[in-house]
Amino acid sequence: MKHSAIIIFDGQCNLCNDSVNFIIQRDKQALFSFTPLQTDCARSLMDKYKIKTLDADTIVLIKDEKVYLRAEAVFEIIKDLDGAWSLLRIFRFLPTALNDFFYKLVAKNRYKIFGRTPHCMLPSEDTCSRFLVDGV
């Protein structure tokens, strides 16, 4: 199975896990696949796409062989979600540094605000096929 849009996320972050569930609910065409940052699959993808260092607070989208990080990844993801979420892309026209500033502000405080789970999320039976863990 070819995965044209893969999201690498912090599997121990409650905000990140909730975001993955949010995306799944609004991705009726099942465009996105997911892999926690803590997996061999994520490390393999990072090697393949030459993503040097990746902090646990950085979301990564690999879509059509292109890598998107932080706020840019968020904007690219919401573009493909069902509903009016794509309207939030208007903020994409702000300078990248400003968007990433707000992204990093939330990311830096995500464990304090949303908490942390000691293990990566376990997908439901319905969504299991959308999670990559052992390979791509």
Per-residue pLDDT of the chain (136 residues; tens, 9 = 90+): 456 799 999 888 888 888 999 999 999 899 999 999 888 999 999 999 999 866 777 899 999 999 999 999 999 999 999 888 878 878 888 898 998 899 888 888 887 878 777 666 566 667 778 888 765 5
Cβ atoms of residues 57 and 110 within 8 Å: yes
Residue 37 C-alpha from the chain's centroid: 9
Other CB atoms closer than 10 Å to residue 136's CB: what's the count? 15
Rounded Cα gap, residues 114 and 117, in angstroms: 10
End-to-end CA gap in the chain: 8
Q: Is the pTM of this model over 0.75?
A: yes
